[in-house]
């Protein structure tokens, strides 16, 4: 697992073994995650979404603690995945990073609690699965608008974004910050340390 530029995000590209029958790869290895994070990824929920080209989901995050860590891969087609540092006080606050996940590289993305996550489908039938450390809890779930110009995520220009009503009505980063919705960086670090202490 290779760290990205935002603390708490990692990219894992597994070896893919192929022959005349097809291919095989290990898309999740608990021992590698534990080695990198210092704790296991607690599995509380597994999600699967199928999206048409242009569908833009996110940017979503959850209250910390407990937040919701995610481990994501694209089984079919391709997506452009984004991580946004929404942790107030972080050295990389409001910075974002795009990663392509597709059915060729089989790359996987880990996102720690408190970091915003979203993706755009680059193909029809883009099938994305992700493991979550906590179950969905509507009262603790939030979002920021994925097209907020202040954040300035550089989504692919050749794809027209299609948003849900909920994501289209999400606040800007400034509005979310002013209303106290965003997680605190130090609280996130303390929570990561607590997870590591549990082993």
Phi-psi region for residue 122, left (φ > 0), alpha (ψ -120 to 50) or beta? alpha
pLDDT at 154: 97
Specify whether 191 is catalytic.
Answer: no
**107-116 residue pLDDT tens:** 999 999 999 9
Instruction: Quote the DSSP letter at residue 172.
Output: P
- For this structure, is 130 an active site residue? yes
Q: What is the pLDDT of residue 64?
A: 97
Average pLDDT rounded to a whole number, residues 185-198: 93
What pLDDT sits at residue 115?
98
CB 119 within 8 A of CB 38: no
**pLDDT at res. 21:** 94
pLDDT digits (tens, 9 = 90+) for 105-153: 999 999 999 999 999 999 999 999 999 999 999 999 999 999 999 999 9
* Structure token digits, residue 112: 């720690």
Of the candidates 10, 71, 110, 130, the residue annotated as catalytic is 130
Among 5, 168, 169, 159, which residue's Cα sits nearest to residue 79? 159
Residue of 10, 39, 60, 71 marked catalytic: 60
């Amino acid at each position: 697992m290779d760290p990205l530029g935002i603390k708490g995000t990692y990219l894992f590209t597994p070896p893919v073994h192929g022959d005349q029958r097809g291919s095989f790869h290990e898309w999740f290895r608990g021992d590698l995650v534990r080695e990198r994070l210092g704790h296991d990824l607690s599995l509380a929920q597994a999600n699967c979404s199928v999206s048409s080209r242009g569908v833009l989901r996110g940017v979503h995050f959850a209250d910390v603690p407990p937040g919701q860590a995610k481990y994501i891969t694209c089984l079919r087609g391709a997506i452009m995945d984004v991580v946004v540092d929404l942790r107030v006080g972080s050295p990389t606050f409001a910075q974002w990073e795009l990663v392509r996940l597709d059915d060729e590289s089989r790359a996987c993305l880990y996102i720690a609690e408190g970091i915003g996550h979203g993706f755009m489908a680059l193909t029809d039938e883009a099938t994305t699965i992700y493991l979550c450390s906590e179950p969905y809890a509507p009262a603790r779930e939030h979002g920021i608008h994925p097209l907020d110009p202040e954040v300035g995520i550089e989504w692919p220009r050749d794809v027209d974004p299609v948003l849900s009503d909920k994501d289209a009505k999400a606040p800007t980063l400034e509005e979310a910050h002013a209303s106290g919705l965003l997680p605190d960086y130090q609280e996130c670090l303390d929570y990561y340390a607590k997870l590591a202490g549990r082993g």
